[in-house]
Chain A
């Protein structure tokens, strides 16, 4: 039985912070489109609240989010191209573009508390955040991953702009073309603002520590100036236009693959492989 988004994801106001928390560690915080869309509704609440200046994404368990929930990607082609076009316009293009756009347009400061790996669209969201704090960047346990090529997809969530922009063009290439892992240790001078180097696995403690540090950082600041600062940076660098253009090109570029059925087949193969592995481990 699949849980409803509101059972897995929570949103709450904490002073001038709006905290969105992923609470489904047992599924590694995998997200269906409904889950992502619910998250955008929480973003909306933060956007409309004049007392909110910062939107903080927190998670739980070992993963920040393992990305698309395999179980939510159906592999049942109708055989009719027209039908498939309409279907995937609605279920891929519109949803994917809307979710990404939500993060792009968000005017409050977006902060990600990276307790663990993030994959796919979830990793793209991390790159759309203004500030990123990691729990433990040591070793190879924690990473971002963009398995678009493995899944018959292509760049999503404006990663065609954000990843080269934030880690450099060459480094971005192997991560996007080959789906290689981007370890936290390699993001320390670029994406990650600070690593907390906590190895006790206590995500609640990490999340609490980040909030404490944020409250200390903002003491004495004029918060309306902070929001205007984000706005000026975006205006001067034409950020929103660039990201929205990339967003549009990305979803239009990958639409034919969905109509073709390839991502669905690849997701199904992964799902089967996962079930088989689980079956084997039960023996």
Chain B
């Protein structure tokens, strides 16, 4: 199990936690897949009513680690070489199935998924935020999510081509995705995405604790079976669209990776960051 993630059963909640605040809770692709696996493994557990995703420190998650991409690039370069078919095969395996498995796990999850947004989320982690059903934020004034796909040289992933349109509206999504622009928590609030802002928590621990406490109180008198059915009915309406989106997203993004632009851009970013770290 990854040292960055954990999960526990708290009464009838499944609580998934991200805890690597020193690295802004950035995650390897294996970590995202681990989250998806936990969602799938516990999907039919009758003792669970809600799934909650929480984090630590000031960032929800800075998204996929550069290392995840760069390790892949290095492996593909050494194993596949430059033969076009070998390269394509490697890239398809690296991108399409993980994306599909991950997004599908959220789409097929039978329990409402709550996200405790303690701070900013980037890239794939921001896609996670948009895949959740209920959002709580710690403080709307500083938080934002960002989808830097076009800055990194590829296109939408994690179901964002559907979730953002549905939740933010067409034109706002265009601005966020075409220009890799931040979407502030305030904008999420104005679009009706945020259930409640917890403005007066002094720490993320307090925020997480209070959300769990409030959720407990809210669902105590409710029929959990009813809640789950409602979730499944709403998810069912969008199921076809999400499935189609996976196909469009992964196949659209693939040529960019094979072409090498994202690899080059990630390498540049990694170099810039190590220069910055060296200077500090």
Contacts and interface: CB of A to CB of B under 8 A. Distances in A.
Interface string A184-206: 00000111110000000000000
A233 B177 contact: yes
Contacts of A226: 150, 178-179
Contacts of A222: 150-154, 256, 261, 265
A218 interface: yes
Contacts of A237: 161-162, 165, 241
A229 B162 contact: no
A226 B191 CA distance: 24
A232 B155 contact: yes
Contacts of A132: 171
B46 to A, nearest CB: 34
B73 interface: no
Contact of A131 (B171, B191, B244): B171
Contacts of A220: 151
Contact of A190 (B162, B171, B179): B171
Contact of B170 (A109, A166, A217, A221): A166
A193 B149 CA distance: 20
Interface residues on A, range: 20 to 34
A242 to B, nearest CB: 12
B230 interface: no
Given A189-B190, A193-B172, A222-B261, A232 B178 contact: no
B151 A233 contact: no
A131 B151 contact: no
A217 B171 contact: no
Nearest to A53: B178
B81 interface: no
Nearest to A190: B169
Contacts of A190: 169, 171-172
Interface in A162-215: 165-166, 189-193
Interface stretch (B18-26, B111-119, B204-212, B245-253): B245-253
Nearest to B181: A217
B137 interface: no
Contacts of B191: 189
B261 A217 contact: no
A165 B166 CA distance: 10
B156 A218 contact: no
Interface string B135-153: 0000000000000011111
A238 B170 CA distance: 13
Interface string B22-60: 000000000000000000000000000000000000000
Contact of B155 (A218, A228, A238): A228
Interface residues of B, number: 35
B175 interface: yes
Interface in A237-253: 237-238
A222 B177 CA distance: 12
A111 B117 CA distance: 32
Interface in B87-128: none
Contact of B154 (A189, A225, A233, A235): A225
B180 A221 contact: yes
A41 interface: no
Contacts of A217: 179, 181
Contacts of A231: 252
Nearest to A237: B165
Given A130-B178, A230-B178, A166 B150 contact: no
B151 A193 contact: no
Contacts of A233: 156, 161, 165, 173-174, 177
Given A222-B150, A225-B155, A236 B161 contact: yes
B171 A166 contact: yes
Contacts of B178: 109, 130-131, 226, 229-230
Contacts of B245: 236
Contacts of B173: 233
Interface string B163-206: 00100011111110111110000000011000000000000000
Nearest to A165: B170
Contacts of B170: 130, 165-166
B21 to A, nearest CB: 28
A124 B79 CA distance: 53
Contacts of B172: 189-190, 193
A131 B175 CA distance: 7
Contacts of B155: 225, 228-229, 232
A229 B177 contact: yes
A220 B179 CA distance: 10
Contacts of A191: 171
Given A233-B174, A236-B248, A221 B179 contact: yes
Which 8 A-B pairs rank lowest in CB-CB distance, beginning with the nearest? Answer: A236-B245, A236-B161, A222-B153, A235-B248, A225-B150, A130-B174, A232-B252, A217-B179
Given A222-B152, A222-B256, A235-B248, 10 more contacts: A166-B171, A189-B190, A191-B171, A193-B172, A217-B179, A221-B180, A222-B153, A225-B149, A225-B153, A229-B156
